[in-house]
A and B are shown apart, each in its own frame.
Chain A
């Protein structure tokens, strides 16, 4: 199999915690290297302590085995570090459709207090930060003051 074929198979592997995104969308898959009969998939963890990283590795191995690729090794490359700049526009739209506000880009000198995160449901910009940390490391918790719904913001991480 070629690298392109392997990548096409991997295009179906989704994030264990945000199943609407694929690992490709997230920018987690760095490279695919083929040596003889072994396929090496290079991944980059999102947050250092993200518990989903091990699951992602297992899902990659399982998916490739399912497609008949027996010898798979997963290696981790942390540099350059993962940032939310790696998320494609398509990925951001998927997040929004799923009810998670996509990352609002933040300058180096800005804090979470300086940015406005629009509500992914009604689009209102009258929203408030409830907690800088949400149900997973990559999210923060907000509430919309117009539709009154709570929602997650996929934090700008860079």
Chain B
């Protein structure tokens, strides 16, 4: 693989993470548990989709096929998406929405923090902008972890159930993609194995404060490939069906 293709693949992975989670969250528009949370979740969705646009814009300039933001988002099939499997998991209930968001916010905060010091200037610029937004998201999701984890018996049970369900998806966050090591050695991509203990420490502290316990199960799902390699759970295809419908049915349609 050429250097440019490797960088393209990595930026696509970052962009896909933000877009897919943004799309998941936007499903709650008009369906949030309360008006305020509905607005909060959709605001976060907008930030994530905005970050995805900045990243796709960059990726598009490196793309051998010269695709723009919209073509990258709407005209690729599931196996071409490079997002981690955590972000494509369905919303189910508010506990799932919050737990998934919290685990991912703690992760993205560290990824962006590392990228701001990275050697790719354009990625560093995007990270400097995005991290301000992620800090705010993290404050929101962490507060809800505490409020619901340390709330009633039922809210605690629901949060623990969501945490147990998502825990096996968190190992993948720190597994480098096939060519990611090359970028890590080049000082562009963060060293994931350095970020993992920091992430685990922060998450463990929050769980303790939220009266939740660290699930007693592996953080890695056995026998499955990684979203970074285009291997996804069945949920991504359904999400894309809805998200891409318009461009598939009416190719090239513009607002």
Residues of A that sit less than 8 Å from B by CB: 45, 47-51, 78-83, 111-112, 130-137, 141, 155, 157-158
Chain B interface residue count: which class? 20 to 34
Beyond A133-B39, A137-B43, A141-B36, whether A78 also contacts B49 by CB under 8 A is: no
Chain A CB within 8 A of B98 CB: no
Residue among A135, A137, A155 making CB contact with B47, cutoff 8 Å:
A137
The answer on a CB contact under 8 Å between B133 and A112 is: no
Residues of A within 8 A of B51 (CB): 48-49
The answer on a CB contact under 8 Å between A48 and B130 is: yes
Chain A CB within 8 A of B231 CB: no
Sorted from nearest, which 7 A-B pairs have the closest CB atoms?
A: A49-B50, A48-B50, A49-B46, A131-B36, A79-B125, A133-B40, A81-B129
The answer on a CB contact under 8 Å between A78 and B54 is: yes
The answer on a CB contact under 8 Å between A157 and B39 is: no
The answer on a CB contact under 8 Å between B140 and A49 is: no
The answer on a CB contact under 8 Å between B128 and A81 is: yes
Beyond A48-B53, A81-B129, whether A134 also contacts B39 by CB under 8 A is: yes
The answer on a CB contact under 8 Å between B36 and A78 is: no
The residue in chain A whose Cβ has the minimal distance to the Cβ of B40 is A133
CA distance A132 to B53 in the complex (A): 24
The answer on a CB contact under 8 Å between A133 and B43 is: yes
CA distance A47 to B54 in the complex (A): 12
CB distance from A113 to the nearest CB of B (A): 9
CA distance A134 to B129 in the complex (A): 21
The answer on a CB contact under 8 Å between B132 and A83 is: yes
Could you write out 22 A-B pairs with CB less than 8 Å apart? A47-B47, A47-B50, A47-B133, A48-B47, A48-B53, A48-B133, A49-B22, A49-B46, A49-B48, A49-B50, A50-B50, A78-B54, A78-B126, A78-B129, A79-B125, A79-B128, A131-B37, A132-B139, A133-B40, A134-B39, A137-B47, A158-B132
**Interface on chain B toward A: helix, strand, loop, or mixed SS?**
helix
The answer on a CB contact under 8 Å between B132 and A45 is: no
Tell me the chain B residues, 115-163 only, with Cβ under 8 Å from chain A: 125-126, 128-130, 132-133, 136, 139-140
CA distance A115 to B50 in the complex (A): 28
CB distance from B18 to the nearest CB of A (A): 9
CB distance from B195 to the nearest CB of A (A): 20
The residue in chain A whose Cβ has the minimal distance to the Cβ of B34 is A131
Residues of A within 8 A of B46 (CB): 47, 49-51, 137
Beyond A48-B50, A137-B46, whether A131 also contacts B39 by CB under 8 A is: yes
The answer on a CB contact under 8 Å between A49 and B40 is: no
Beyond A79-B129, A137-B43, whether A48 also contacts B54 by CB under 8 A is: yes
CA distance A132 to B44 in the complex (A): 11
Residues of B within 8 A of A136 (CB): 43
Residues of A within 8 A of B48 (CB): 49
Residues of A within 8 A of B49 (CB): 49
The answer on a CB contact under 8 Å between A48 and B36 is: no
The answer on a CB contact under 8 Å between A111 and B139 is: yes
Interface bits B225-246 vs A (CB < 8 Å: 1, else 0): 0000000000000000000000
CB distance from B111 to the nearest CB of A (A): 15
The residue in chain A whose Cβ has the minimal distance to the Cβ of B41 is A133
CB distance from A13 to the nearest CB of B (A): 21
The residue in chain B whose Cβ has the minimal distance to the Cβ of A136 is B43
CA distance A81 to B116 in the complex (A): 12
Beyond A112-B139, A157-B132, whether A131 also contacts B126 by CB under 8 A is: no
CA distance A85 to B46 in the complex (A): 22
CA distance A137 to B51 in the complex (A): 14
CA distance A82 to B139 in the complex (A): 20
CB distance from A133 to the nearest CB of B (A): 4
The residue in chain A whose Cβ has the minimal distance to the Cβ of B55 is A48
The answer on a CB contact under 8 Å between B50 and A131 is: no
CA distance A83 to B128 in the complex (A): 11
The residue in chain A whose Cβ has the minimal distance to the Cβ of B128 is A81
